[in-house]
Amino acid sequence: MGRVVRFYQYGGPDVLVIEDQPDKSPGSGEVRIRVKALGLNRAEALLRAGTYIETPTLPSGLGLEASGIVDAVGPAVVRLRPGDAVSVIPPISMVRWPAYGDTAIFPETMVIEHPVSLGFETAAALWMAFLTAYGGLIELAALAEGDVVAITAASSSVGLAAIQIARMVGAIPIAVTRTSAKRQLLRDEGAACVIASEEEDLEGRLKEMAGERGVRVVFDAVGGPIFSPLTAAMARGGVLIEYGGLSREPTPFPLAQVLGKCLTLRGYLVHEITDDPSRLEKAKAFILRGIADGILKPVIDHVFPFEDIVAAHRYLESNQQFGKIIVTI
């Protein structure tokens, strides 16, 4: 018997319950992992609330990121063996392959032997953030040395990964956050400058910091009214990558800026990378190289025990965190 987290109705963190269930056997091409750590993501709160892009049949499990030890393999598994220390590439469906539990089953193609230099907590914080940032910045926007990139929701795990990746390729990351409370922390993590969007003139500060070159890339998780000042500060031919939708307000279409500057506005999901084997291999190589060189490293804010999964989700929704929230088992 093992424990799993489920919810029987949509709602806040309190709908999550821990239950016992028999350990399942992995199917063909699948491995079962004895989970040591979980990485929490905003998508899990959205699934629990009934507002995610995936609609589960209730009751449902959840969770996208885990690390641990392989303890069983199914038929047709060729690469992994029991005892391997691994971490998980986020699957396209957390309903089909939920991570929250003492054990979790994933396709072998989504499981990676993580570097020995990474502990389980760090490994559980790695893939969602860095694959998301890599795909948007490197694959889609072709971020390069000298480019100015504005990164919103900069204190999130993805935002911090984006700052590190920008630094890795020689770009200039400008962190955009709501208030100045995390300004110094963002500077310490490599932001060239930090703009508090609720306290400062976002357009004016972006133009000031970018200078004549303008902001070539915007990596945005927010949407909403922030679109107007962001696009107003962009360079001609610039690219805005939208990978979230945190704002509850309507997002205006900045027609004049798009036409006048020939801007590209691009919606993006990390599944574009994880569902394409060749692109995923390139992404993994880039990220593992950055880890090995000491340039890339997940930032962990707080670690909760599995028994406190409700408290961990409350903290996830508080927006107080700086980096990743981890749950250990």
- The token duo for 93 is 């469906």
Please compute the mean of the pLDDT values over residues 128-151 and round it to a whole number.
98
Fill in the DSSP letter of residue 307: G
Residue 176 has pLDDT above 80, yes or no: yes
- The token duo for 235 is 């360079």
Residue whose C-alpha is closest to residue 102's, from 31, 21, 179: 21
Fill in the DSSP letter of residue 52: S
Cβ contact 4:102 at 8 Å: yes
DSSP states along 7-35: ESS--SGGGEEEEEEPPPPP-TTEEEEEE
The model's pTM is 0.95
Q: How far are the Cα atoms of 26, 67, 68, 79, 108 from residue 76, in angstroms, in the given order?
A: 11, 22, 21, 9, 9
Domains and CATH numbers, the chain: 2-126+298-328 (3.90.180.10), 128-271 (3.40.50.720)
Give the tens place of pLDDT for each residue, 192-241.
999 999 999 999 999 999 998 899 999 999 999 999 999 999 999 999 99
DSSP states along 176-224: EESSGGGHHHHHHTT-SEEEETTTS-HHHHHHHHHGGG-EEEEEES--G
Fill in the DSSP letter of residue 90: P
Give the tens place of pLDDT for each residue, 77-126.
999 999 999 999 999 999 999 999 999 999 999 999 987 788 999 999 99
| pLDDT value for 213 | 87
| pLDDT value for 35 | 98
